[in-house]
Chains A and B, each alone.
Chain A
């Protein structure tokens, strides 16, 4: 006569365990793959955003201040910075675009005053900025952030000293 309980083989349990293992590993790999793709996408989006924003912002400021001898380069905090000069009510004012504390900042001050670097408005994150004057109208600007470079040329319509 057969007993109520059928004889269990080791393979029965082993098969289920192996299947569970394969299932778990596959699910884990899928999650790891997803998180890798997601983090790469986010990194890349951030890099693209920084690229576009730094380029658009600096270009816009450059064009706004495109008048004779109003654009110059100064060293601020071991980095190059753009200085845009403007006359308001016979007083000279300057707008600085500079790097401080890991950020690209903007500061509007009266000419000749000490630059309170911390007081600048934060534009976006950036590690360094290098500006070179190629000729009287063209500037080459390189903004670096986390090993990624944004390199662009700016051409003024007017001559700059």
Chain B
């Protein structure tokens, strides 16, 4: 009698165990898949933000390069300067900027260079060096 009871009871216990194991495997697989997906989403978001920042910074530095190439010698400030820009690349105030540019100037012979470095509030994004020729007499005047 007792033996028969055990025979009946045993298969049922085993079924629950298999079901539980199946659940654990499914949840484990789901967790791994979710982790991989979330990691990819975060990477894609970061790359997207980086790409937008790089795009804007290139535009800002090219705008600066254009005005540098066109500026006359007398208008130029030879000291390093910092300029602030909003998210669309328009000049903005120091309190509400998204990007800022640090510009330094060097003169070597008759070549004047501006080195433009673009940053967000927490990271360096892009750097551009622009060279232009200046007449020799201006260099002599400066000396």
Chain A residues with CB under 8 Å of chain B are 1-2, 4, 6, 19, 23, 26-27, 30, 33-34, 37-38, 40-41, 44-45, 47-48, 51-52, 55, 135, 137-138, 148-155
Known: A26-B34, A149-B90, A151-B89. A44 touches B51 (CB 8 A): yes
Nearest-Cβ distance from residue A26 to partner chain B, whole angstroms: 7
For chain B, the bracket of interface size reads 20 to 34
Least CB distance, A35 to chain B, in whole angstroms: 10
Interface of A is mostly: helix
User: Which one of B27, B38, B44, B56 contacts A41 once the chains associate, using CB atoms below 8 Å?
Assistant: B44
B66 engages A40 (CB within 8 Å): no
Mask, B10-47, CB within 8 Å of A = 1, is: 00100000000001001100100010011001001100
* B8 near A2: Cβ-Cβ < 8 Å: yes
Residues of A contacting B70 with CB < 8 Å?
A: 135, 137-138, 155
Which residues of B approach A to under 8 Å, CB–CB? 1, 5, 8-9, 12, 23, 26-27, 30, 34, 37-38, 41, 44-45, 48, 51-52, 55-56, 59, 62-63, 66-67, 69-70, 88-90
